[in-house]
């Protein structure tokens, strides 16, 4: 039976096609070619080598214009046979916050309006290490360490079973083969579900356009790490992906004046981190949540 009537299905199809055309016509006619390219840019993991190259070239030109400096943007992939782990000696941390500012400097964080830090140093009363709710991170004594306190720096713990990537509705954040949890800042829609999901407060949000003066900018960057970010993207510690994939210690490790911070490859039996795990009494934060952090706290002796 050949029914020539206009069916409901056809009606809905035509209506939605017309709506899509109607929406996209002003969208693409009113924006520049560059804005259109940004809008249609693919997810980092789905880009071909050619597309990555184009995106890098575009970003380099944009940063050159904005900061007046030539950037080196790396897209280096994870080195096979590596799984990065971190060690932190709580008996030696004096809470001086050198790591916090070294991190912000290395990773091109927004300095103010908003001020974004990837490391938060908690101060706890000695003897109440598990009492994280009553910790203080705005402490400001004339000198540190203070006798009755100990200091617990917290940053992204690079979980093996990260809660943040499970809640991301657009897969803008994922775990790399070397264990680093990274964000594609362009793909991030700024919903901040990951910030709510993270039990360590490891992620921060660009509430406004980041402020970064050209003379403070670090030009050696990684696409998934410390390249300058934009408004409404989430960012976090990546163990300095731009450094560790070339075999260099993270910035916080180099900045620490007491040698509290240790870093290494968990798969290399001769690495510093393996020495720590095998010989010291290590623990991880909130182990009961089954997030399997790769950040090991320990006490000397």
Partner 1 sequence: MNRIACWVGSLFLLVVFSVTSAMAAAEEFPVSPPPMTEGMFPCSNCHAGMEVNRKKRVLKDEHVDIVLHHAESMRWCLDCHDAKDRDKLRLFNGELVKFTESYRLCGECHGNVFRDWKAGLHGKRTGYFSGGKRTYLLCAHCHDPHDPKFKPLKPEPPPYPPTDNRNGR
Interacting residue with partner 1 among 208, 214, 216, 220 (CB under 8 A): 208
* Closest distance to partner 1 from the beta carbon of 208 (Å): 6
Q: Does 190 bind partner 1 (CB under 8 A)?
A: no
Interface with partner 1 in residues 86-105 (CB under 8 A): 94-98, 100-101
Query: Does residue 117 interact with partner 1 by CB under 8 A?
Result: yes
User: How near is the Cβ of 260 to partner 1 at its closest, in Å?
Assistant: 9
CA separation for the pair 151, 154 (Å, rounded): 10
Q: Kindly indicate which of the ranges 42-50, 64-72, 166-174, 263-271 contains the residues binding partner 1, using the contact rule CB under 8 A.
A: 263-271
Cα–Cα distances (Å) from 29 to 19, 39, 41, 132, 154, in that order, read 16, 13, 18, 53, 47
Cβ atoms 120, 104 nearer than 8 A: no
Distance in Å, CB of 37 to partner 1, minimum = 29
Contact between 205 and partner 1 by CB under 8 A: the answer reads: no
- DSSP class of residue 18 equals H
Q: Which is nearer to partner 1, 109 or 186 (CB)?
A: 109
Query: Distance (Å, rounded) from C-alpha 203 to C-alpha 107?
Result: 14
Mask for 137-176, x = binds partner 1 (CB under 8 A): xxxxxxxxx-------------------------------
Whether omega before 251 lies within 30 degrees of 0, making that bond cis, reads no
> Minimum Å distance from CB 87 to partner 1?
8
- Stretch binding partner 1 (CB under 8 A), from 65-73, 190-198, 245-253, 287-295: 245-253
Site size with partner 1, rule: CB under 8 A: 42
Tokens representing residue 246 in the block: 């070339």
| Residue of 198, 240, 256, 266 interacting with partner 1 (CB under 8 A) | 256
Are 267 and 82 in contact, with CB atoms under 8 Å apart? yes
8 A C-beta contact, residue 149 and residue 134:
no
Cβ–Cβ < 8 Å for 187, 44:
yes
Question: What is the nearest approach in angstroms of partner 1 to the Cβ of residue 258?
Answer: 7
- Residues in Cβ contact with 270 at an 8 Å cutoff, skipping those fewer than 6 apart: none
Of residues 104 and 198, the one with the C-beta less far from partner 1: 104
Q: Would you say 191 and 202 are in contact if contact means Cβ atoms under 8 Å apart? A: no
Q: Pick the binder of partner 1 from 193, 205, 275, 299 (CB under 8 A).
A: 275
How far apart are alpha carbons 190 and 178 in whole angstroms? 25
Tokens of 279: 């010989």
For binding to partner 1 (CB under 8 A), which residues are involved?
Answer: 94-98, 100-101, 112-115, 117, 120, 137-145, 207-208, 246-249, 253-254, 256-259, 262-264, 271-272, 275-276, 280
């Amino acid at each position: 039976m050949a029914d020539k009537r206009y069916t409901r299905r056809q009606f809905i199809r035509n209506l939605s096609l017309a709506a899509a055309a109607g929406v996209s016509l002003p969208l693409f006619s009113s924006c520049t070619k560059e804005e259109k390219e940004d809008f249609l840019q693919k997810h980092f993991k789905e880009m071909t080598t050619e597309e990555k190259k184009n995106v890098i070239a575009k970003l380099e030109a944009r940063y050159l214009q904005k900061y007046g400096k030539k950037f080196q943007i790396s897209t280096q992939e994870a080195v096979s046979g590596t799984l990065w782990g971190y060690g932190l000696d709580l008996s030696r941390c004096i809470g001086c916050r050198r790591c916090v500012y070294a991190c912000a400097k290395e990773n091109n964080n927004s300095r103010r309006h908003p001020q974004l830090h990837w490391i938060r140093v908690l101060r706890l009363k000695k003897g109440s290490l598990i009492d994280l709710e009553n910790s203080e991170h705005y402490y400001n004594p004339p000198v540190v360490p203070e006798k009755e306190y100990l200091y617990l720096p917290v940053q992204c713990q690079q979980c093996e079973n990260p809660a943040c990537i499970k809640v991301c509705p657009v897969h803008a954040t994922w775990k790399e083969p070397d264990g680093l949890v990274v964000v594609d800042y362009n793909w991030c829609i700024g919903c901040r579900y990951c910030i709510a999901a993270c039990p360590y407060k490891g992620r921060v949000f660009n509430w406004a356009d980041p402020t970064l003066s050209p003379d403070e900018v670090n030009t050696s960057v990684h696409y998934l790490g410390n390249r300058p970010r934009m408004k409404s993207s989430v960012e976090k510690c990546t163990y300095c992906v731009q450094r560790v994939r070339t075999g260099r210690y993270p910035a916080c490790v180099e900045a620490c004046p007491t040698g509290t911070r240790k870093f290494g490859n968990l798969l290399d039996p001769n690495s510093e981190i393996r020495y720590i795990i095998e010989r010291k009494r290590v623990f991880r934060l909130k182990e009961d949540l089954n997030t399997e952090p790769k950040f090991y706290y320990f006490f000397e002796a």
